[in-house]
Amino acid sequence: MIIQYKYVPTMFVVKKTKDAFLKDFFDKHFHEFIEGKLGLYVSPEFLVGSQQYLQFNFDLDSKFKGLSQVAKDANKLIRLFNNPFDFDVVTTTTGLHMISHVAYYLDMAITDCNHMLADCMSKHFPSIDWKGSVRVTPFGRLGHIDASDFYMNPILTKGISDNIIKRIRKKQPKQIMSEDEWIKYFQTRIIPKLVTARISFVIKQMIDKLS
């Protein structure tokens, strides 16, 4: 499996195997990350030979309807997928990123995935920014990613509220989990489970549920 990632927005995208990525991060960058001095950007596209797999990634932004709507939409998305831990829910400066823990076999163009989901989901999830969702470009995944005092941290509880988002995004990574817990998180949550289910089929199921 090939992972595509970088540590700052201006950096070229690095492509490495899962093991090489984890070694690079833990050997060179882990302590910077723990201290809140470094961020991580990861593409939701994963490559296995000539095959592509894609995680669903949704950018929920408070600029549309406020932070309470972000929290409401996040809980609805979790219910749509039936399992609160099928998603990694991560705070951002303006809301949340929600990333599926499963990557599906990509059998259609990314732009078509985006348009199909936007057409069926926009009225149900008004806080989703579709320009920042369902794409292959590396996006802010964890850590300190801009000049603000906010951090991209995982929300580890089942329920999500605007107060939880406000509290979690102000904490440095070392205040969220211990070093050992972060190591386990990177080893088990950053790299998705690959499944052979075609993404076109999964999208159709989602459309049927929302119809």
pLDDT at 29 over 80: yes
Q: What is the pLDDT of residues 39-54, one digit of tens each?
A: 999 999 999 999 999 9
Q: 135 or 85: whose pLDDT is higher?
A: 135
Show the CA angle centred on residue 78, arms to residues 74 and 84, nearest 5°.
115
**Pair 54, 36: CB distance under 8 Å:** no
Contacts of 39 (CB under 8 A, 6+ apart): 7, 8, 33, 140, 141, 142, 143, 144, 145, 152
Average pLDDT of span 167-196? 92
Which domain covers residue 136, as residue numbers? 2-210
Strand 51-61 versus strand 39-42 pairing type? unpaired
pLDDT of residue 211: 81
Show the CA angle centred on residue 9, arms to residues 23 and 108, nearest 5°.
85
Whole-Å CA distances, 45 to 52, 63, 69, 107, 192: 7, 27, 28, 12, 10
In total, how many domains does the chain have? 1
C-alpha to C-alpha distance for 88 and 97, rounded to whole angstroms: 8
Contacts of 165 (CB under 8 A, 6+ apart): 67, 70, 71, 91, 95, 96, 155
Confidence tier at 157 by pLDDT (50, 70, 90): confident
